[in-house]
Amino acid sequence: MRAGRWRCMVAGMTINFRVLAPVLPAVTMAIADDAHAENRAGCPGPYYGPCEYEEGWLDVSLLSTGAIPSDGVLVLQVNWRGATPPAAETITITADGNTDADPLTGTTEATEFPGIFIWRPDGAWTGSLMTISGVANNADVEGECLLPDLAIAGEVTIDPAPGAALTPVDIDAIEMFELVPKISLETMACCPGATPSYGYGGCYSQPGVDFDPSQCTPIAATGVLQLSLTGTPAASGPVEQQVVYVLRLDGDDVVSLEPTFGLAGPEAPQCASIDAVDLGSKSAVKGAEECFGAMFAGQVGPQPLDPTAVLSCDLQVCAVTEQGDQWDLEMCSPFSSSGDVPTEGGEASGESGETGEGRTGGESGGQDDETGCACDETGGPPGLLGLAGLALLARRRRR
């Protein structure tokens, strides 16, 4: 059986988050092991497509729609191939006010936020309804890897009032604790005769621990937090769509066009704040730092598991062979519950544990964040519901 790990990239964010996998019908923990590098000797090398080194714009889209402030800007979402985006000057846009005046020209600007550009008119908006048209140009394009020009089009309405001032963001938090079994040769207990081992995963997957869950079970786990943070909007009305939110978390900045963020995997309580930035005026307002997960402080990090709750045989633990690929059945001893957590080898497997929910007080308000993502997964184990202790949920509003 094979237990796996999920890695999730959330659109619009600048860091990656580990997402806990639900219980799935298969078991072996995907753990990279240099000792198995020779198994890949016959595998083909990496494939580089014919467009791998062609750098330029892949997509440029206009995010601004509906009403924008009289002093507003257009917000663009950009996607490119290459280490850095092409120059902002390669994006040209005009805005036609549907009047006798010439179309309005402007300047495209890169922002400090990856994937977000803005277009600022050279003068005042010339009408109430503006037709936007433009192009992102890929210079010196040869072949079919990139389009020479990407069209940009849309409409916006110009509100008579300038953008309203931003207000600080308050956070509505959902905090959840989960116990994730740790699967490695050093963190297993098995019935007599059972032999967990590292298994070769094939050319396109990592090796992992192979074991029979009816004969073996983990004896250690990692307690982790899952946080869903929803901020109050920093502005309402036309200016809202040109506001970027920045989650400040333990030295990392996470960017989103909505004040909603998800984080899974921290092994300690976290403190965070959400700042808001107006892309047009470049004004910013800082959010107050708030801390989360304190109620689970003693449950996060390395934790022991009781294998006797899962298997009723005479459990044993064994030393790993010198090759490091399986148990040495001549070096075994009966399992004894000392309360210590094995620390050698392995990593959290990504399986969810038994769940239960409870909510604590606080003001109502905010909505649960269901952040979409494209995840790359290698599976997770069945039959482990009885292992992982309690998953608890708390929701509260802090001011």
CB 210 within 8 A of CB 196: yes
Label residue 294 exposed, middle or buried (CB < 10 Å: 0-12, 13-18, 19+): exposed
Q: Give CA separation, 203 vs 39, 207, 301, in Å.
A: 8, 10, 33
DSSP state of 289: P
Tokens of 300: 């996060």
Label residue 25 exposed, middle or buried (CB < 10 Å: 0-12, 13-18, 19+): exposed
In whole angstroms, give the CA distance from residue 73 to residue 22. Answer: 43
DSSP state of 115: T
Q: If you write DSSP's letter for every residue of 352-366 in order, what string do you get?
A: ---B-----------
- pLDDT value at residue 201: 66
- pLDDT value at residue 41: 58
Residue 262 C-beta-side C-alpha neighbours within 13 Å: 18
User: Phi and psi at residue 185, in whole multiples of 5°?
Assistant: -65, -25
In whole angstroms, give the CA distance from residue 214 to residue 192. Answer: 12
Which is nearest to 263 in space by CA: 245, 246, 247?
Answer: 247
Residue type at position 384:
L
In whole angstroms, give the CA distance from residue 171 to residue 369. Answer: 12
In whole angstroms, give the CA distance from residue 172 to residue 269. Answer: 16
Which residues, in sequence order, are CB contacts of 159 under 8 Å at separation 6+?
67, 68, 69, 70, 72, 237, 238
- pLDDT value at residue 27: 29
CB 228 within 8 A of CB 256: no
**CATH 2.60.40.1220 region(s) of the chain?**
56-158
Q: Is 143 left (phi over 0), alpha (psi -120 to 50) or beta?
A: left
Q: If you write DSSP's letter for every residue of 149-212 in order, what string do you get?
A: EEEEEEEEEE-SSPPPPP-PPPEEEEEEEEEEEEESGGGEEE-TT---EEE---TTS--EEE--
Q: If you write DSSP's letter for every residue of 214-233 in order, what string do you get?
A: TTEEESEEEEEEEEEEEEPP
CB 350 within 8 A of CB 3: yes
- pLDDT value at residue 220: 95
DSSP state of 286: P
- pLDDT value at residue 344: 53
List the chain pLDDT tens, one digit each, 399 residues: 433 332 333 333 332 222 222 222 222 333 333 444 445 556 776 667 788 888 999 999 999 999 999 999 999 999 999 999 999 999 999 999 888 888 999 999 999 999 999 999 999 998 889 999 999 999 888 778 899 999 999 999 999 999 999 999 999 999 999 999 999 999 999 999 999 998 776 776 677 899 999 999 999 999 999 999 999 999 999 999 999 999 998 878 999 999 999 988 889 999 999 999 999 999 999 999 999 999 998 899 999 999 999 999 999 999 999 988 999 999 999 998 776 666 555 444 544 443 323 222 233 333 333 333 333 333 333 322 222 223 344 444 444
User: Phi and psi at residue 244, in whole multiples of 5°?
Assistant: -110, 140
- pTM of the predicted protein model: 0.71
CB 208 within 8 A of CB 198: yes
CATH fold of the domain at 56-158 = Immunoglobulin-like (2.60.40)
Which is nearest to 135 in space by CA: 61, 51, 56, 241?
Answer: 61
